[in-house]
């Protein structure tokens, strides 16, 4: 899949958890507490993705 320039990579909760070395429940807590913003896909509140650039910024600030 090719991305257009300027479109951020969207990561799953599982991918972000693996990168951080934490469980998916921890990432879900960060989201629920408003610490990690997400994008909701397809009009669903359950289907979420994290923009890679937002994730990198989150890691820098943590």
Predicted pLDDT at 35: 96
Per-residue pLDDT for 38 more than 80?
yes
pLDDT, tens only, 5-27: 678 899 999 999 999 999 999 99
Q: In which region does residue 21 sit, left (phi positive, over 0), alpha (psi from -120 to 50) or beta (all else)?
A: left
d(CA 38, CA 52): 10
pTM to 2 decimal places: 0.82
Per-residue pLDDT for 44 more than 90?
no
DSSP state of 49: E
C-alpha to C-alpha distances, 34 to 3, 15, 22, nearest whole angstrom? 28, 19, 18
**Domain definitions of the chain by residue range:** 10-61
Predicted pLDDT at 30: 97
Q: What is the mean pLDDT of residues 29-56?
A: 94
């Amino acid at each position: 899949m090719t991305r257009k320039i300027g479109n951020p990579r969207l990561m799953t909760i599982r991918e972000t958890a693996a990168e951080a070395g934490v469980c998916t429940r921890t990432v879900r807590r960060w989201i629920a507490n408003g610490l990690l913003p997400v994008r909701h896909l397809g009009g669903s509140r359950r289907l979420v993705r994290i923009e890679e650039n937002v994730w990198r910024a989150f890691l820098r600030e943590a």
